[in-house]
Homo-oligomer: A and B are copies of this chain.
Amino acid sequence: MHVPEPNYSLYVITDSRLAAGRSIRDIVAGAIQGGATCIQVREKEMSTRDLYHLSLQLRALTREKQVPLIINDRLDIALAVGADGIHLGQEDLPAAVARRLIPPEMILGVSAENVRQALEAQAAGANYLGVGAVYATSTKPDAGEPMGLAALAEICRRVELPVVGIGGIHAGNAGEVIAAGARGVAVVSCVVAAERVAGAARAVAGKVQEALFSDRGRP
């Protein structure tokens, strides 16, 4: 089945711990207004019921805005709300198991922090990779040592899948992540925790577009 490939250029991930009293829905709406091209729901400390209701709400919003909605870890929630995709870390369901449980058109994203994991995910049927942590990050305390741009670039060269860089990315370094070969950047705190969410998203989106554009000019 042919499914148009999502635009991963500004991939925004939720984290209600950073919401500072604002609703996740409003934050996501602001992120989309500022140029987010993909939304991932990642909430590790919510009951299944609450996660289901939040995801339903974001499903309605992202459908209206025509932005893909991806659910972290919870394949059950993704099926329940009709999400466009799921994203699995190395501590979640194995990618190959998930691939046979989801509809063929559902996007499967997998986190990889080295070439071996990236190639395994590709072989298991992933549609894209989240690769990081590129830089140090406070959002995901278990993310391990930052890999840096050279390791990111190596993974981008070794796989055929689109790669989204993740971990400590903001407007100030997003350009070099794209220059290293990533198709987009995944951000949490620099957008979700920003006072002006749309403006923060716009700042990152601008840098990504600039880098993607200049990248196209290369040999």
A residues lining the B interface (CB < 8 Å): 47-50, 52, 73-77, 79-80, 90-94, 97-98, 101
Contacts and interface: CB of A to CB of B under 8 A. Distances in A.
A74 to B, nearest CB: 6
A44 B49 CA distance: 14
Given A49-B91, A77-B93, 15 more contacts: A47-B91, A47-B92, A48-B73, A49-B92, A49-B93, A52-B94, A74-B76, A75-B76, A75-B79, A75-B80, A76-B79, A76-B93, A76-B101, A80-B98, A80-B101
A122 B48 CA distance: 20
A212 to B, nearest CB: 33
A60 to B, nearest CB: 15
A52 B97 CA distance: 10
Contact of A79 (B48, B77, B90, B101): B101
Contact of A93 (B52, B90, B98): B52
Q: Could you tell me the dominant secondary structure of chain A's interface residues? A: helix
A74 B79 CA distance: 12
Contact of A90 (B49, B76, B77, B98): B49
Contact of A91 (B48, B80, B93, B94): B48
Contacts of A101: 76, 79-80
Nearest to A90: B49
Which 10 A-B pairs give the minimum distances between C-beta atoms?
Answer: A75-B76, A76-B76, A47-B91, A48-B92, A49-B91, A80-B97, A79-B101, A48-B93, A48-B73, A52-B93
Contacts of A47: 91-92
Contacts of A49: 90-94
Contacts of A73: 48
Nearest to A51: B93
A94 B53 CA distance: 10
Nearest to A74: B76
A48 B97 CA distance: 12
